[in-house]
């Protein structure tokens, strides 16, 4: 059984307050891009194994795919194992949700391989135990997320822009970035979904979008700000950090411009990926 685990970007990300459980309440729009890992699941007698082509995503029990399979097995009281092969294309720890998407892929498909289907509520519960972004990847479509990221409302977002994603060789710790946010100064009443939907018809609305991680991340890593500025100067309708970075994306009205900027950023040694306007995952 083989599946594609797509990457996401955050089209706007607002951090609204710290919660008693130590997490933060947020509001963000998750949107999938044309960049995916390929995951193969094969039955195995009793052990869970993970092989990965990416040294930064090792095949040990810290891998989120391993943890997803292990959590499923415990929940189901199941004896069998699985051999998981990961062909990674999504940069690791880069704000694109690669590990979360991989884990959701395992949660969605492994119960069927084991002949033990699970209902959506149980899957969402297991997803949240693995990470705040995992639940989004259990279903297709774009979504506005609230709470820790698990309160989701899915909607169809036809993005008429080319999406350029640029990932520098910098790792930003999400826990570090949350820890540096001054939440007290950030009470806001914004409806990101309407803002994003309005921005699909009129790019001028996109300028109102923000990612609250940008100040702390750009201060510590000026090279990431430079990527954002390069995209804006080159004509992006909007360019923002994705998640807590280090990836930055830009929405471009013309694919040709996006391609030129991609080539420029690649020449600076960054990883780039392009998603055509109107893209929908297979």
Tokens of 19: 């919660």
The dihedral region occupied by 28, where left means phi > 0, alpha psi between -120 and 50, and beta the remainder, is beta
Among 6, 36, 178, 252, binds ligand C5P (CB under 6 A): 178
205 makes contact with ligand C5P (CB under 6 A) = no
**130 or 258: CB nearest ligand C5P:** 130
Closer residue to ligand C5P, CB minimum distance, 98 or 131: 131
Catalytic residue among 37, 102, 133, 212: 133
User: How far apart, in whole angstroms, are the C-alpha atoms of residue 266 and residue 262?
Assistant: 6
Residue 8 is a binding residue for ligand C5P (CB under 6 A): no
Does residue 235 sit in helix, strand or coil? coil
Residue whose C-alpha is closest to residue 176's, from 220, 233, 230, 121: 220
* 63 near ligand C5P, judged by CB under 6 A: no
The nearer residue to ligand C5P, 78 or 148, going by C-beta atoms, is 148
Query: Which position among 109, 116, 148, 205 is part of the footprint of ligand C5P (CB under 6 A)?
Result: 148
Alpha-carbon span 240 to 246, nearest angstrom: 11
- Asked if 183 is part of the footprint of ligand C5P (rule: CB under 6 A), the reply reads no
What are 40's strand-pairing partners? Answer: 2, 85
Q: Rule CB under 6 A: is residue 124 a binding residue for ligand C5P?
A: no
Is 175 a binding residue for ligand C5P by CB under 6 A? The answer is: yes
Active site residue 212: no
**Nearer to ligand C5P among residue 59 and residue 149 (C-beta):** 149
24 binds ligand C5P (CB under 6 A): yes
Residues in the interface with ligand C5P (CB under 6 A) total: 11
Q: Quick check: 168 binds ligand C5P (CB under 6 A)?
A: no
Q: Does residue 133 carry a catalytic annotation?
A: yes
132 binds ligand C5P (CB under 6 A): yes
User: Would you say 209 and 238 are in contact if contact means Cβ atoms under 8 Å apart?
Assistant: yes
Q: How far apart are CA 61 and CA 233, in angstroms?
A: 43
Q: Which CA distances in Å does 75 have to 40, 41, 123, 133?
A: 22, 19, 10, 20
Which of 8, 37, 88, 212 is labelled catalytic?
8
Q: Does 149 help bind ligand C5P (rule: CB under 6 A)?
A: yes
Beta strands in 90-228 (DSSP E): 142-146, 151-155, 162-167
Is residue 26 a contact point for ligand C5P (CB under 6 A)?
yes
d(CA 104, CA 94) in angstroms, rounded, equals 17
Nearer of residues 131 and 250 to ligand C5P, judged by Cβ: 131
- Euclidean distance between CA atoms 193 and 12, whole angstroms: 9
| CB burial readout 6-21, b (16+ within 10 A) else e | bbbbbbbbbbbeeeee
- Active-site residue list: 8, 133
Q: Which residues bind ligand C5P (CB under 6 A)?
A: 23-24, 26, 131-133, 148-149, 174-175, 178
């Amino acid at each position: 059984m083989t599946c594609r685990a797509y990457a996401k970007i955050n089209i706007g990300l607002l951090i609204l307050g710290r919660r008693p459980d130590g997490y933060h309440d947020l509001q963000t729009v998750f949107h999938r891009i044309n960049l995916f890992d390929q995951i193969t699941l094969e039955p195995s007698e009793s052990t869970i194994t993970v092989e990965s082509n990416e040294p930064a995503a090792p095949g040990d029990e810290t891998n989120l795919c391993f943890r997803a399979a292990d959590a499923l097995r415990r929940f189901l009281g199941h004896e069998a194992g699985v051999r998981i092969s990961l062909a990674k294309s999504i940069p690791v720890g880069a704000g694109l949700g690669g590990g979360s998407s991989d884990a959701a892929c395992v949660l969605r498909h492994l119960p069927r391989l084991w002949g033990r289907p699970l209902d959506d509520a149980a899957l969402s519960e297991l997803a949240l135990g693995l990470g705040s972004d995992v639940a989004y990847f259990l279903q297709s479509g774009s979504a506005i997320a609230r709470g820790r990221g698990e309160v989701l409302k899915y909607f169809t977002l036809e993005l008429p822009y080319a999406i350029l994603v640029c990932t520098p060789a910098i790792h930003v710790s999400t826990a570090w970035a949350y820890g540096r946010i001054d939440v007290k100064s950030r009470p806001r009443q914004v409806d990101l979904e309407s803002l994003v939907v309005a921005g699909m018809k009129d790019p001028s609305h996109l300028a109102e979008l923000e990612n609250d991680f940008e100040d702390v991340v750009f201060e510590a890593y000026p090279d990431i700000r430079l990527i954002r500025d390069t995209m804006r100067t080159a004509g992006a309708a909007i360019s923002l950090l994705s998640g807590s970075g280090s990836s930055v994306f830009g929405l471009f009205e013309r694919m040709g411009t996006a391609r030129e900027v991609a080539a420029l950023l690649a020449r600076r040694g960054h990883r780039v990926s392009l998603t055509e306007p109107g893209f929908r995952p297979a």
